[in-house]
Structure 1
Amino acid sequence: MPGPEGFAYDVRGGDVVITHHGRRATVLRGAAATGFLADVEDGADEQELMAHVTGNYRRGNERTAKDHPRNRGR
Structure 2
Amino acid sequence: MPQPHGFSYEQRADGSVVITHRGRNASTLRGGRAEKFLAEVVSGDAQLVMARWTGAYKFGNERTARNHPRNQSGRR
* Band of TM-score, shorter chain: 0.7 to 0.9
**Equivalenced residues, count:** 72
Matches within 5 A, 1:1-74: 1-13=1-13, 14-42=15-43, 44-58=44-58, 62=62, 63-67=64-68, 68-70=71-73
Output the CA distance in 2 between the equivalents of 1:71 and 1:12: 46
The RMSD of aligned alpha carbons is 2.4
| 5+ long unaligned stretches in structure 2 | none
| 5+ long unaligned stretches in structure 1 | none
CA contact (8 A) 1:25 1:54 kept: yes
Output the CA distance in 1 between the equivalents of 2:2 and 2:75: 25
